[in-house]
Structure 1
Amino acid sequence: MPLSQSESAGRTKANPVLNLLGTLVLIVGAVALFAPLIIQPLLPAGLAEPLVEHAKLLIGLGIALKVVASVVRAKKIVGAGYRLGKQQQAAEPNQRSEGDDIDWTPLKKGGSNFKTHHLVQVSPSRLEVRPSIQMMLFCALFMVLGGGVGSVFVVAGIRDGDLMNAVIPGLIGLVFVLAGALMLKSASKRRVFDPSLGGYWRGSAKLSDPRALTTQTDWVRLQDIKAIQLLREGVTSTSDNGRRRSYWSYEVNLVLTDGRRINVMDHGKQASIRHDAEAIGRLLGVPVLDRS
Structure 2
Amino acid sequence: MEKISLNNSWFFAIIPIGIFIFVAFPQFQNMYESFHKREIEVQQSVRKLDSLQQLTNPTRKDLNDIKRLEITAPLHKLSISKQRYTYYKTGGMLAVLAFMFISMFGSSYWAKRKKNSPTNKQIEFSFGDFTTDAIGQNISWSAVKGSGSNFLSERLRKTAFGYKITSSSYLKFVAWSFLLMGLNYVVWSYIEFFEFSKEPLTFMHGGKLFFISGGPFVLIGVFLLFSFGAKAFLNSQKRKVLVDGEIIPFQQVYALQVLSKFIQGNKSGGYYCYEVNLVTQNGERYNLLNHGDKEYLLSDMVKISRFLKVPVWNNGVA
* TM-score, structure 1 as length reference: 0.50
Aligned to 1:115: 152
From the superposition, tell whether residues 172 and 264 of structure 1 become closer, same or farther in structure 2 (CA, over 3 Å). farther
Aligned to 2:131: 96
Q: 1:231 aligns with which of 251, 259, 274?
A: 259
Aligned to 1:127: 163
1:249–1:267 CA contact under 8 A, matched in 2:
yes
Cα distance in 2 for partners of 1:177, 1:245 equals 35
Aligned to 1:175: 216
Letter of the structure 2 residue corresponding to residue 270 of structure 1:
K
* Structure 1 range deviating more: 141-150 or 182-191: 141-150
SS at match of 1:182: helix
1:229–1:255 CA contact under 8 A, matched in 2:
yes
Q: CA deviation at 1:120?
A: 2.1
Letter of the structure 1 residue corresponding to residue 234 of structure 2:
F
Q: CA deviation at 1:181?
A: 1.9
Give unmatched runs, 5+ long, in structure 1. Answer: 1-93, 204-216
Q: CA deviation at 1:259?
A: 1.0
From the superposition, tell whether residues 103 and 95 of structure 1 become closer, same or farther in structure 2 (CA, over 3 Å). closer
The alignment yields a C-alpha RMSD, in angstroms, of 3.6
The answer to whether the aligner puts 1:198 opposite 2:234 as a matched pair is no
Cα distance in 1 for partners of 2:263, 2:194 equals 44
SS at match of 1:226: strand
Alpha-carbon displacement from aligned partner over 1:10-30 (angstroms, at most 9, x marks no partner): xxxxxxxxxxxxxxxxxxxxx
Alignment of 1:187-266 (within 5 A): 187-189=228-230, 191-202=232-243, 217-238=245-266, 244=268, 246-266=270-290
SS at match of 1:130: strand
Cα distance in 2 for partners of 1:262, 1:195 equals 18
Cα distance in 2 for partners of 1:248, 1:257 equals 29
1:189–1:202 CA contact under 8 A, matched in 2:
no
Greater relative contact order (Cα < 8 A, sep 6+):
2
* Structure 1 range deviating more: 143-152 or 103-112: 143-152
From the superposition, tell whether residues 102 and 153 of structure 1 become closer, same or farther in structure 2 (CA, over 3 Å). farther
Cα distance in 2 for partners of 1:266, 1:137 equals 19
Alignment of 1:1-292 (within 5 A): 94=129, 96-97=131-132, 99-123=136-160, 126-145=162-181, 170=211, 173-189=214-230, 191-202=232-243, 217-238=245-266, 244=268, 246-291=270-315, 292=317
Q: CA deviation at 1:220?
A: 0.3
Aligned residues: 179
SS at match of 2:139: coil
SS at match of 2:224: helix
Cα distance in 1 for partners of 2:268, 2:178 equals 23
SS at match of 1:100: helix
Which structure has the larger Rg?
A: 1
Cα distance in 2 for partners of 1:137, 1:244 equals 29
2:143–2:261 CA contact under 8 A, matched in 1:
yes
Alpha-carbon displacement from aligned partner over 1:98-123 (angstroms, at most 9, x marks no partner): 53321111111111222222112335
Cα distance in 2 for partners of 1:261, 1:237 equals 26
From the superposition, tell whether residues 251 and 148 of structure 1 become closer, same or farther in structure 2 (CA, over 3 Å). farther
Letter of the structure 2 residue corresponding to residue 96 of structure 1:
T
Give unmatched runs, 5+ long, in structure 2. Answer: 1-128, 198-204
Q: CA deviation at 1:149?
A: 7.1
Letter of the structure 2 residue corresponding to residue 110 of structure 1:
S
Cα distance in 2 for partners of 1:233, 1:155 equals 51
From the superposition, tell whether residues 178 and 274 of structure 1 become closer, same or farther in structure 2 (CA, over 3 Å). same
Cα distance in 2 for partners of 1:168, 1:110 equals 37
